Amino acid sequence: MNELSLHILDICQNSIKADASLITIIIEEDIINDFYKIIIGDNGHGMSQKTLSEVSDPFFTTRSTRKVGLGVSLFKMAAEMCNGSFSVDSIVNKGTVVTALFEHGHIDRAPLGDIGETIMILILNEKDIDIYYEHIYNNKKYVFDTREIRKVLGDIPFTEYSVILWIKDNIVNGIKNLQKEETK
Ligand SMILES: Nc1ncnc2c1ncn2[C@@H]1O[C@H](COP(=O)(O)OP(=O)(O)OP(=O)(O)O)[C@@H](O)[C@H]1O
Ligand SMILES: [Mg+2]
- Give 94-159 as a DSSP string: TEEEEEEEEETT-TTPPP---HHHHHHHHHHH-TT-EEEEEEEETTEEEEEEHHHHHHHHTT--TT
> Does the structure show a pLDDT above 90 at 66?
no
Residues 6+ apart with CB under 8 A from 77: none
41 pocket-lining for ligand 1 (C-beta < 6 Å): no
What would the pLDDT profile of 86-115 be if each residue is shown by its tens digit? 999 999 999 999 999 999 999 999 999 999
Cα separation, 68 vs 57, in Å, equals: 9
pTM: 0.94
Phi, psi of 11 (to 5 degrees): -65, -40
What would the pLDDT profile of 68-85 be if each residue is shown by its tens digit? 578 899 999 999 999 999
Position 182, amino acid: E
CA nearest to 14, candidates 25, 30, 3, 27? 25
Which residue ranges form the domains of the chain, and what is each CATH number? 4-182 (3.30.565.10)
Taking ligand 2, which is a single-atom ion, which protein residues have CB atoms under 5 Å away? 14, 71
- Which atom of ligand 1 is closest in space to residue 96's alpha carbon? 1
47 pocket-lining for ligand 1 (C-beta < 6 Å): yes
Give residue 151's pLDDT. 92
Give residue 121's pLDDT. 94
Q: What separation in Å is there between the alpha carbon of 156 and the centre of ligand 2?
A: 31
Residue with CA nearest ligand 1 atom 17: 71
Q: Which of 24, 72, 93 to mutate to test the pocket of ligand 1 (most atoms within 8 A of CB)?
A: 72
Give the burial class of 144: count Cβ atoms within 10 A of its Cβ; 0-12 exposed, 13-18 middle, 19 or more buried.
Answer: buried
Strand 22-30 vs strand 130-137: parallel, antiparallel, or unpaired? parallel
